[in-house]
Structure 1
Amino acid sequence: MSDAGGAGRAGEGVAPGPQAPRTVIEGRYELLESIGSGAMGEVWKAYDRRLRRHVAVKGLLARTAMTADTRRTAMQRARREAEALAKIEHQNVVTVHDQVETDSQVWIVMKLLEGRSLADLLRRERVLGVPRAAGIGLQILQGLRAVHQAKVLHRDVKPGNVLVRDEGLAILVDFGIASFAGANRVTKFGIPIGTPPYMAPELFAPASPGPTPASDLWALGVTLYEMAEGRLPFRGHEVWEVQENIRSSPEPPYRYSGPLAPVIQGLLAPDKDDRLDAATAEAMLHEVLRDPELPAAALAEQRTQAALPDFTPDPEQPAPVEVAVPDEPEGKPGGRRGWKVGLAVVLAAVLAGGGWYLSPDDEPSGSSGSESEAPAVTAAEKRWEKWRSTNEVLRVGVKKDQPQLSEEKDGEYRGFDISMALAIAEALGYEKGEVRFVPVNTENRPTMLDNKRAHLIVASYSITDEREEEVDFVGPYFRAGRTFLVREKSTRYDLRSAADIKQKKVPVCTAAHSTYERHLKEGGYKAYAPQPANYETCVNKLLDESADVYAVASDDVLLAGLAYEKRGQVRLLDSGAGTEEYGVAMRPEDQPLKGKVCTALRQIITSGEWDRMYKDHLAVLNLPPWDAPDPPTCGT
C-alpha cells in the first residue's frame, strides 16, 4: 500500500475531487471516503484507476491493537471472508471484483452499491408491511440458497447485513464470520459466534454440531418478523436473555404479519429438524406475493404512514460476538403449531382476498368490505396503463445474424430470442402484429434505447456492471458459455484448444464493444484489429483464407449456431471458463415496463415455456445442456 497525491500522472485515471493526498492500494484502488465501519471491518468508497470506475473496498481488519497471534487469527478470518464471497455469483449477494493483501490488511474490492441497509429502513419506517417484507425476505432467501449451494454459511444474517436499493433489490452483504467446507476454524471449539438476537437455539446445545444452513434460515425468520412486526421476536441485550426467551416463549405474538405468519413460524421452529427448509420457505413466500390484491406497489411507492406500534423497536443491532455454551437446562420448549399446515394457511389467506397492510389505525385490513367491491388500482398499475396507452406498438431490438438464436430470413425473424421477445410482448398485452423488430448490433444497443428507437433489447445482451450504469436489465433469461470458432481446415494453424490459440498468438476476432474485447485482453490473447461491429463479419473473415483471422471469440450459443449453419467449414472448440448472462434491456426511465417484463419472464421460466423454446431452437446445436435460469426477483 502506498500514499499518492490525488492528481497523479496523466492517463492514470485519477478520480475527480479534492487533490489532497490519499491512500492508494497496490497502485490501483484510491480510497476516497469511509462509508461504513464496524466490529468486522471498514468499508471505503474508492476509485479503480485501471478500469476507471468507483468501487467499494473493505478492509477486513479492525483498527485495534493486536498481538501477533491475534493478528494472525484476524488475517485468517479476513482471507476467509474473501474466499467465501468469491465462491458466489447471484444478484442478491454482493459481487466481489478483487482481493488484495498487504502487510497489515486484507482488502476485498466489491461492486459499489447505492442504497440503504435494511436496518436503516426499519429504523425509519418501523414496520414495512407484508408485501414489502415478503418481497425483501424472498430475495434474502434466494441469496442464501446461492450461498448454501456454494457450501458457504453466512452466520450473521440480519437487517444490518442486507442492502436495499431504491428499485427494491435486496443484497446480502458482510460475510465476515462466514464458514465454508474445508475452511479452518477461527473460533475456539464450542464457542459460537454471531449477533445474539439472530442466533439459532441449536448453536447453544451441549453437543451442537455448529452452524448449519438451518441456522441461517432461523436468522432469516427473525429478520422477517422484525420487518413485519416492527420488533425482535425474542428480546434481550445479552445472548442468554435471548435464548431464555426462546425457551420460555417460543411463539412470539403476531399482530401485523397476516399470511406471512406461517412462514415466520416455520423458520422460527426451535428444533432445527422441524424448521422449514429453504425450498418450502421460498414456495410459501411466493404464495404470499402471488395474490394480485396485495397492495405491494402502493406500499413501496406511497409509504403509507401508519400509527407506530405500542412498543419500541431495538434502535441498534449489536455486532457479532463469541459466546460460551452452557449446560442444557432441564425442560423443553413449549409446544407450537406445526409448520406443515403453514402453506395451507398462506393459501387460505391469499384466496380469501385479504390485503394485509398497515392501516392508519394499526390493524390489518383487507378482511372487511363488500365482496363485490372492485380492488383498488395501484399507483404502479396506473403508470403502466398510461405507458401502455401511449405505446400502441412495442419495438424490440434484436439481432439478425445469429442462427437459431436471432436471425432474419426472407423478411421474417426467428430463433430463441425472437420467441422470448414475443412471449414477453404477449404477457404485456401486445398481439404479434403489434410487435416491431428493430435490427441492432453489439455496438449500438444502448443508443437504440436512448434514442427510443427500441423499448426493449432482446439480443444476447450480457449483463455487466458497466452496462448496468447506462441501461436497466431484467434477467438473466439465458446463460451462455465462452468459446472459440476456428477453421475446420487451416493451412497455417492446427487449433484444438484455447491454449493453442494463446500459445501460437493467433489473431482473434470478436465484435466491437462486446464483453470479449476485455476477456481477450485479460486472458493474454492476441486481438484482431480493428474489431468489426458484429460477429457475422468476423466469421466471414474467418472463412476468407486471405484474411488474417483464424479464430472468433464469443458465446458458445452464438458460435454453435454459426458452426451449425456452416457445417464442414468451421469447428467449435470446447467451452472454457466463465459464463455470459443475457438480460432484457430497457431505459432506466421505463420503470412501469420493467416491472411487467420481470413478471412476464418469471412466468415464462416457471411455466415450462422456456424449456419449450430451448427445445424448438437450441437443442439442435448439441451444446452441453443448460437448465432454465432462476426466475428473476421482481421488486415490490
Structure 2
Amino acid sequence: MHNEDRTGRADDGQGGRFADRRADDEAPRTVIDDRYELLERIGSGGMGEVWKAHDRRLNRFVAVKGLLDRNAMTPSTQATAMQRARREAEAIAKIEHQNVVTVHDQVETDHQVWIVMKLLEARSLGDLLSRDGVLAVPRAANIGLQVLQGLRAVHAASVVHRDVKPGNVLVRDDGLAILVDFGIATFEGADRVTRTGSVIGTPSYLAPELFTPASPGPTPASDLWALGVTLYEAVEGRVPFAGQEVWEVQENIRQSPDPALLYSGPLAPVIQGLLVTDPRERLDAATAEAMLREVLVDPASPNAGAAGAATHPPTAVSTPNPSTPPTPVPRPAVRPPTPVPPSPAAGKRRPRHRGWQVAAAVVCVALLAGAGWLVARGDGEDGKQGDRTGSAEGQSQGQGNSGSQERWKDTHPTLEIGVKDDQPGLSKFDRKTRTYRGYDIDLAYAIAESMGYGKGEVAFTTVATDYRSTALKTKQVDLVIASYSITDDRKTAGPDGYSVDFAGPYYEASRGFLVREKSAKYTINDSSDLRDLGVEVCTARESTYEKALPKQGFTMAKSQPNTYQDCLDKLLDPKSDVYAVASDDIILAGYVEANPGKVRRLENIQGAEGYGVAMRPKSPVLKGEVCSALRTILAGRVWEDMYKENLSGLVGDKNPPGRPELTECEGY
C-alpha cells in the first residue's frame, strides 16, 4: 500500500522516437528534449513510472513524469489527449506553494507531455507508517494541515489532484510536508472515465461520489475525502474502508459508512467530517483547516500531548518579534463527537460534521451566531452566499446589525493574507525560521493590528503573480499584500475574468531591468541596448510588464514563468536566451543584494507601479478598515520605520520616497 511514487514522477518513452526504448538500467539512457537524461526509476504508480533525471543545462537532478497513459490512447484520441495534457501541465506549473512539489518545466515529445519537478530527498508518509505503524495525533494533525494548505493552492489553480494518499505525501526531516505526484491530476469537472472505462486512482482513497451515475467527476471535495482517509490511516493504523478492488471498497463504505475511531482523539471530528459520503455535506477546506489548527494549538485536547509545541506549517507564521507574544484566542477542549441519529423522515444520514462546524465557529468567533463565518467562507462569489448569513460582506451590502457596527474580525477570527515568498526586502520566506519577513509583512501586521488582530491571528499564504486574484476569488485569503500593482484592468477583470478591489497605494515603485554582470555575447549598458539588440526579456506572467514592454519595442521571452524568481533563474543560466528581467526597482534591488557580482540593475525607465492591498470587490467593511489602517500608517513614523528597516539598504537611499496618496481609499 505504501510503495508508490516518492517524489515528482514520470513515465518512460511514449511512442515516437522513444517508442522502442525502455531506458532500463542496462540500455542506453534516454534523453528528453536534449536536456533531461533519465537515470533510474525511483517509483511507480497507476499511471506509469517516475524517473530520477539529470538536467544537463542547469546541472541538477530532477524528477520527470509523463501525463499520458499510452495504454489509453488510440490514434483517434491521441490529438485530444495531447491537447488536454498540455493544458494540465500548464495549470500544474502555475501552482506555487511550499507544501506542493515545485514544477520546473514542461516538455513535449512525439506522443507524451512531460512535467519536470524538483527532486525531493524525503521519506513519504507511507514509508513512515510502514516503519512506525501509526503517528501521534499532533504529528498527524500537523502533516494533515500542511497537506490541506497545499490542496487549497492546488484547487485555487482549478486543478484536482485525484491521488491524495500517504505514498504521495513527502515528509522532510524538518517536518515540512509536501504533496507530490500530479501524474493523474486533472481540471475540475473533467471526464471521470479516462482509462479503459474505469475511474483512475487508488481504490482505498477514492470518494464514493465518483461512482454514482451522475458523478461530475473528480472535484476538490473528492480530494478532501482522500485526505480524510489518509488522516484516519495515520492515527488508526489502517485504512477505514478496506478492499483490493474498487467494488470492495465501495461496498464497505455502503455497509459501514462510520468507521470506528479508537485512537484519533481530537482529530476525530476532522476525520469524520471529511469522510461524510455526501460531498455536499463534507467538511470544506476552510473549516477543516480551522479545526486542524485548533487541534494543534489546544494543549487541553484529549491525546494532544505536545500539540501546543508542534511545528506549524509555513503558512502559519509566528511573530518576527519573539518578545511580543501572540494574542491568545479562547479555546475550549475539543471533545469527541456525539453521534447524530439518522432522520426517519428523510431516510438519510444527517451530516455528521455540522455540529462541529458550529462549535468551531463559536470557539473562534466567540459569537452565538458563529455559523455565519462558516457560510461566509463558503463557495459563493463576491460574498453573495455570505449575504444571507449576516457576514461582514453581506452586511456591508445593506443587511445591518441592529444598529451595531460590525467589524471584519467578528466573522473572520483569523486574517488570511496572501504574500510573495521570493522578494528580498519586500516579502521573503525564511526556510530556517519558517517565517516571512520584509516590508510587506510588516505592513500586513500593522494593518492587522489596526483591525484588532494579534500577530498570532494572522496567517500568511504564498501567492504567485498570476493567481493572486484567484486566491481572493476562492476565498483562500482575505487580503493580498504582494507587490500587487493597481491597474484599471485588474479592477475591472483580471486574467481569470475576476475583478479585485484595492486599498492604497501604500508604495510607489519605479520600473527597471536586471541584466547579467558579465555577458560573453552582448554589451548592455542601458535599457536602449536591450531594445536595439532585441535580446529576450523575462517577466512574471500576468504582470503589468507583460503587456507594456512589447508596446515599447522590447523583445519578450516566448513564454513567461509565473514568478520573477523563475526569471532570475533563467537570467543566471549562461545557456539561457534570457538576458534581462523586467520588474520593479525595489524587487530587482533585492535580487542584486542576494546575488552579488552576478547581476546588476539598469537605470529605471518611464512608469511607476503603485502597490495596493487587494481584496474581493463589494467588501466595504473590510476596505474601510484597511483604508483607515493605511491612513494611520502613512501619517506617522511607522511607514518610515518599515522603509528604513527593510528597503533603504537595498536601494541605497536612507530617505523613503514621497508618501503616496490613498487614491483607492476615497470615500472610505
User: How high is the TM-score relative to the length of structure 1?
Assistant: 0.52
Letter of the structure 2 residue corresponding to residue 240 of structure 1: W
Distance 1:620 1:30, change over 3 A: farther
- Say whether the 8 Å CA contact 1:85–1:95 is kept in structure 2: no
Q: Residues 276 and 351 of structure 2 are in contact (CA less than 8 Å); yes or no, is this contact kept in structure 1?
A: no
SS in structure 2 opposite 1:160?
helix
2:118 maps to 111
The correspondence of residues 458-469 of structure 1 with structure 2, limited to 5 A, is: none
Per the alignment, residue 166 of structure 1 pairs with 173
8 Å contact 1:29–1:49 — kept in the other structure? yes
What's the CA shift string for 1:265-308, capped at 9, x where partnerless? 111111222211111111111101112463259899xxxxxxxx
Question: How far apart, CA to CA, are the structure 2 residues paired with 1:292 and 1:251?
Answer: 27
Which of 427, 439, 443 is the aligned partner of 1:416? 439
Shift of 1:260: 0.5
Q: What are the Cα deviations for residues 230-273 of structure 1, in whole angstroms up to 9, with x where unaligned?
A: 11111222222222221221111111100100011111111222
Distance 2:202 2:591 in 1: 57
- How far apart are the structure 1 equivalents of 2:268 and 2:83? 40
Contact 1:41 1:62 in 2 (8 A): yes
**2:498 counterpart of 1:498:** no
Q: Which of residues 276, 279, 284 in structure 2 aligns to 1:272?
A: 279
Residue of structure 2 in register with 1:340 after alignment: 354
The alpha-carbon distance between structure 1 residues 31 and 96, as it changes in their structure 2 partners (threshold 3 A), is same
**Per the alignment, do residues 517 and 620 of structure 1 end up closer, same or farther by CA in structure 2, a change over 3 Å counting?**
same
Equivalent pair of 2:100/2:180 in contact (CA under 8 Å): yes
Tell which deviates more after alignment, 258-267 or 200-209.
200-209
Q: Contact conserved, 1:88 with 1:150, CA < 8 A, in 2?
A: yes
Q: 1:552 to 1:516 in 2, by over 3 A?
A: farther
Between the aligned partners of 1:248 and 1:333, the Cα distance in structure 2 is 15
- Are the structure 2 counterparts of residues 119 and 297 from structure 1 closer, same or farther at C-alpha, using a change threshold of 3 Å? farther
Corresponding residue for 2:103?
96
Listed one character per residue, the Cα deviations across residues 16-55 of structure 1 (whole Å, up to 9, x for unaligned) are: xx99953322221222222112231222222222222221
Shift in Å at residue 206 of structure 1? 2.8
Give the structure-2-normalised TM-score.
0.50
Identity across the alignment (%): 58
Inter-CA distance 623–25: structure 2 relative to 1 (3 Å threshold): farther
Question: Per the alignment, in what secondary structure is the counterpart of residue 181 of structure 2?
Answer: coil
For 2:147, the equivalent position in structure 1 comes to 140
The match for 1:295 among 298, 303, 306 is 306
Contact 1:84 1:178 in 2 (8 A): no
Change in Cα spacing, 1:173 to 1:418, as seen in structure 2 (3 Å) is: closer
**5 Å matches for 1:428-439?**
none
Counterparts of 2:553 and 2:204, CA distance in 1: 54
Match runs of 1:336-375 below 5 Å: 338-343=352-357
Shift of 1:416: 3.0
**8 A Cα contact 2:73 2:81, kept in partner:** no
Amino acid at match of 1:135: N
Show CA shifts across 1:144-166 (max 9, x none): 11111111222222112222222
Q: Does 1:177 align with 2:184?
A: yes
Q: 1:71 to 1:252 in 2, by over 3 A?
A: same
Contact 1:262 1:343 in 2 (8 A): no
Gaps of at least 5 residues in structure 2 are 1-12, 19-24, 312-344, 365-422, 429-436, 447-463, 466-479, 486-508, 514-526, 533-544, 557-563, 593-599, 612-624, 644-657
Conservation of the 8 A alpha-carbon contact between 1:198 and 1:222: yes
Are 2:35 and 1:28 aligned?
A: yes
Give yes or no for contact 1:152–1:179 (8 Å, CA) kept in 2. yes
- SS of 1:274's equivalent in the other structure is coil
Task: Kindly indicate whether the alpha-carbon contact (under 8 Å) linking 1:81 and 1:177 is maintained by their aligned counterparts in 2.
Answer: no
Secondary structure at 2:239 match in 1: coil
Tell me the CA shift for residue 421 of structure 1.
12
Report if aligned partners of 2:190, 2:218 keep a CA contact under 8 Å in 1: no
Instruction: Give the aligned partner of residue 206 of structure 1.
Output: 213
**Bigger radius of gyration:** 1
Count of aligned pairs between the two proteins: 409
SS of the residue 2:62 aligns to: strand
User: Alignment partner of 2:291: what SS?
Assistant: helix
Deviation at 1:212, TM superposition (A): 2.3
Q: Whole-Å Cα distance in 2 between the matches of residues 211 and 255 of structure 1?
A: 30
Number of the residue aligned with 1:127: 134
Question: Within the alignment, does 1:230 sit opposite 2:237 as a pair?
Answer: yes
3-state SS of 1:171 partner = strand
Comparing 224-233 and 47-56, the one that deviates more: 47-56
- Give the secondary structure class of the aligned counterpart of 2:92: helix
Q: Distance in 2 between matches of 1:62 and 1:130?
A: 38
Q: Given that residues 249 and 334 in structure 1 are in contact (C-alpha distance below 8 angstroms), is that contact kept between their aligned partners in structure 2?
A: no
Conserved 8 A contact 2:72-2:194: no
CA distance in 2, matches of 1:118, 1:536: 37
1:479 aligns with 2:505: no
Taking a change above 3 Å as real, the CA distance of residues 223 and 27 of structure 1, as seen in their structure-2 partners, is same
